Structure 1
Amino acid sequence: MDHLDSLRVLLGALFFGVAVLGIFKVPLGVLWKPAVAATEWGHVLAVIPLLSLLLLPAGPGAKRWIALGLTALAVPLLLSSLARALVYAKRVEGELAASFGAAAPRELPGAPARPAPVVHGDLLSVSTPRVAPTRHVYREVEGGALHLDLYRGAGVPGPLPIVVVIHGGSWNSGDSSQLAWLNGYLAARGLAVAAINYRLAPRHTFPAQRDDVLAAVTWLQENAARLELDPSRVALLGRSAGGQLALLAAYTAGDPAIRGAVALYAPSDLNWSWEHPTNPLVLDSPKTLSEYLGGTPAQVKDRYDAASAIDFVVPGSPPTLLIHGTRDELVFAEQSRRLERRLAEASVPHLLLELPWATHGCDANPAGPGGQITTWAVERFLAAAFFSGR
């Protein structure tokens, strides 16, 4: 039985180790995705050690009790993200309404709006009608074609407000499929969603990426009549690196049609990013920045300045929704906090949702606590931006 007891200890240690990733910042980049799983799928993963507790009889011997103890500790740790989210969700509705006003999201048959920031019955899966995108070339540059995927619900009459979605990936990876679930969710509820591809570093350096975002907005507006879109109602949404581009484009375009910007765990001050690098064992942020901007601040300071959205906030900038996990190891939450202060100074309507359990990529699971709150907040922010009469 000794080998069986050793296996039980090993499994208990594994359960406990995964659970701990949901509490503390990870020291190694290879542990980041398991940490996302522990925080956003923790309520599902907790079933495994819980079953082990029920099936693992306590008996004589230190190994059995060690295994039992580790497994027992793993269950509440894995459930802790959901517990914290339920407490946090109680105040979110009031904060969002106070920041942007109360606005009812669009609902269509079979596609209701989220009824609450966290819905217990959706913790395993959030259902939404499938919306298949159509692909369009929005720009030809440097001998290549740039595409966007346009999502719109079947039979929904236009003209539809436009949400331009910009993927993350450290400016050097990712594509327009990254937020497909959210894109389809919003499109099924009466919005047009354009998920764009843009030129990637290090082959292409800034401002190529920003220029591509602005070119996509222009193309959508110029083709609005043909595609049954509303060129006067546009919002930009991005995650991580895409959030930086969404904020920068929204604040610098000078286009009154851009009604709002949404940034999920995005860097808004790239000078500050350089001065406060991440743990190099998690992400080599100086290398990422220098490849994106074409050098260090000592070499291309003008690009760091031009790429820092925080420096372009002025009174009248588009309303802004920021979502950031407080334990984000890849993009520090202080990035969004600093932007929040700048927006407040300029009297720009804004809201920062700091998710106390969450790390980078907290929206990865639509059914998880971060995914549910993100979808709920984005849906209501867009309703306020598009339908509040601004």
Structure 2
Amino acid sequence: MMHWRVGTVAAVEQSWGRAVQYAVDLDSPDQAPGPRVRALGYADLVGVLGAGDRVLLTTSALERGLGTGGLAFVVAAPDRLPPDPPAGPGHIVKARYTPQQQIVLAVDEQESPHHGALSSGPAADGDLAGLPVLVADVHSALAPILVGVRSLAPRARVVHLYTDGGALPAAFSMTLARLAELGWLTATGTVGQAFGGDFEAVMLHSGLLAAKYVFGADLVVVVQGPGNVGTGTPYGFTGLAAGEALNAVHVLGGRGFGALRISAADARERHHGISHHSRTAYGRVVLGEASLIVPHLPGEFGALVAQQAGDLAAGARGQVTLISEPVDGLLEALGACPIPLSSMGRGLDADEEYFLAQAAAGRAVARTLGPADTR
């Protein structure tokens, strides 16, 4: 159900990439000053607004106090609509049949200059030719994974595929905006219903093939957008798609690797050590071949993680193997990361095991690329 509100922009609070956060004063029935809310506007959808602009908002998640989607969102500034986009190619519709559906040029559609490369040769055969693909289940894994990759292969061509389990607009991600500034990614592709990346793809499978045959990726990292949804049930969480992503990699002849979601700080038993999200996605959903990166952590907690990983592999439905990766030097590398690190509201100091696990996964997969001085 939608909660609709009308208000006036009071100020621009912050921006990143093409996303802008505003302070908006809501109208009140008695014309007295109403409450002030944080509202997010995507410049590509609603234009760039300023103080005094009247805006139409949706506030449903904000009204419910939800973490996922818990902002007001600018639907339109009726008195200052952005101009129509220039005519151009592209007919793929994303966020389909919603009021803000997007018409994009997908890398794999007929009007794309890359259609030929993806409709013939090895791409048409669905052959990734052993391309390494690292999958993680929450968006906060992306930056620490890249820290690990860059510790061995700073010149590797890394393509990120942003899947649609979380925020559909890639512009929502502060991490992606900062990564673009740093030049740590060759490209980000938005797949499925997600939109706004450097390139669009209709499906994860075609996004993987484009990463190799259009963008020349040495390594692909597949992670959903911000806003992972979970219900506390074994299969009711969007990170489950990590298992399906590894199935896609297997079908296409890539080398699939999984980053484990690990925490020593999460008070919930189902997330202590290796999260049930990883145990279910990799142990119950993966049906082909995949390798899981197990960080070699010290002490009793490290022993717990090793035991859980062994149990996961032993009971997996697919052909799951384990790769142990030391964490030496990774804490220092994470501490020097120019991108703020945060997962579930916890930073590096509060949950270093989580970030070490992601960085270890990145470094382990980077080892498959050869010596750093050749990248």
In which range does the TM-score fall when normalised by the shorter chain?
Answer: 0.3 to 0.5
Tell me the TM-score normalised to structure 2 length: 0.33
TM-score, normalised with respect to structure 1: 0.32
Structure richer in strand, relative to its length: 2
Work out which structure has the larger RCO, using CA pairs closer than 8 Å and 6 or more positions apart in sequence: 1
